[in-house]
């Protein structure tokens, strides 16, 4: 008698079907293969690259253009966001002489923020056959190709060709002249606007050249504080009316103003005030 045991073993029991979840497997395999092929030939789409920055924000720049800040930061065409070394990017930004301080931070969602504080020019200085700028700390600042020099006085009589931009000039008379210009701009704005040149060529003597005035103003490097600025601002209108042909207004003496008709050297006994 023929046995039907094998047929019973291979036959599907009545009323039982394969689980519906198995029908999802073939479409998922096709989608996976298609996604792998797309990534292989085109790369991962930007919205899916969660470790990369979607936007870089720059704040605090006035002189430097955003493209220059990005170039100094060297973030690359696809800036890393998740694993970015913020301290290293900050150090790279601080190598630019114009950047006095910088802050680099990751901002949700997938944004990088570069906040910088630029140096403020206090004077123009001759440098290697061209012009450079100098801030209140004596740091040499380069002029970019299309950058317009700041409307500040010129500081002359210095040999700065041996210094690179970004170096700090620590000479005491330079620091005194920059301090004078800073005080004058803050408290004597009209007088500061008239200063066109500060000459430091002679030791122990600072010459101020003012717009609209033929006379030079002579000062001592160690005595250029607020008191001298107040005296100069007070006597200048009177001297312009009463002594129009003056060549020197000498403020190097204590409690007096000496007016000279010719720009001859002043007596060596001039004392600080």
* 3-state DSSP of 137-178: CCEEECCCCCCCCCCCCEEECCCCCCCCCCCECCCHHHHHHH
Q: Does an H or E element contain 204, and which?
A: none
Residues 97 and 184 in one domain: no
52 CB-near residues (< 8 Å, 6+ apart): 46, 78, 79, 80, 81, 82, 110
pLDDT score, position 68 = 92
How far apart are alpha carbons 49 and 174 in whole angstroms?
52
- Give the separation between CA 108 and CA 90, rounded to whole angstroms: 19
Q: Which ranges constitute the DSSP H helices of 49-171?
A: 66-73, 86-93
Q: Domain for residue 34, yes or no? A: no
Q: How many CB atoms lie under 10 A from the CB of residue 191?
A: 18
pLDDT at site 77:
86
Q: Give the C-alpha separation, 116 to 66, whole Å.
A: 11
Contact 157, 170 (CB under 8 A): no
Q: In this structure, are 133 and 253 located in the same domain?
A: yes
Q: How many domains does the structure of the chain reveal?
A: 2
- What CATH number did the domain enclosing 60 receive? 3.10.20.310
> Is 99 in the same domain as 226?
no
Q: What is the pLDDT of residues 31-71, one digit of tens each?
A: 777 666 654 655 555 454 567 888 999 999 998 999 999 99
The range of the structural domain enclosing residue 213 comes to 124-260
Predicted structure pTM score: 0.74
Domain boundary among 66, 94, 118: 118
Higher pLDDT, 222 or 98: 98
Q: Give the C-alpha separation, 4 to 245, whole Å.
A: 135
* pLDDT of amino acid 151: 92
Do 105 and 143 lie in one domain? The reply is: no
248-266 burial, b at 16+ Cβ within 10 Å, e below that, comes to: bbbbbbeeebeebeeeeeb
């Amino acid at each position: 008698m023929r046995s039907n045991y094998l047929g019973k073993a291979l036959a599907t029991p009545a009323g039982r079907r394969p689980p519906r979840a198995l029908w999802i497997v073939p479409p998922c395999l096709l989608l996976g293969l298609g996604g792998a092929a797309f990534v292989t030939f085109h790369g991962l789409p930007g919205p899916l690259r969660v470790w990369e920055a979607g936007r870089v924000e720059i704040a605090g720049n006035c002189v430097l253009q955003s493209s220059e800040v990005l170039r100094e930061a060297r973030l690359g065409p696809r800036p890393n966001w998740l694993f970015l070394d913020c301290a290293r990017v900050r150090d790279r930004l601080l190598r630019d002489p114009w950047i006095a301080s910088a802050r680099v931070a990751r901002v949700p969602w997938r944004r990088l923020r570069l906040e910088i504080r630029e140096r403020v020019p206090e004077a123009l200085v001759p440098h290697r056959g061209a012009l450079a700028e100098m801030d209140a700390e004596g740091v040499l600042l380069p002029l970019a190709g299309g950058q317009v020099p700041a409307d500040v006085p010129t500081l002359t009589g210095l040999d700065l060709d041996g210094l690179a931009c970004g170096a700090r000039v620590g000479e005491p008379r330079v620091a005194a002249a920059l301090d004078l210009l800073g005080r004058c701009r803050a408290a004597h704005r009209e007088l500061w606007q008239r200063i066109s040149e500060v000459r430091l060529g002679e030791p122990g003597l600072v010459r101020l050249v003012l717009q609209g005035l033929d006379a030079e103003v002579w000062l001592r490097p160690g005595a250029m504080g607020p008191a001298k600025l107040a005296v100069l601002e007070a006597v200048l209108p009177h001297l312009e009316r009463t002594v129009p042909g003056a060549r020197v207004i000498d403020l190097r003496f204590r409690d007096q103003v000496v007016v000279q008709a010719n720009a001859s050297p002043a007596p060596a006994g001039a004392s600080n005030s």
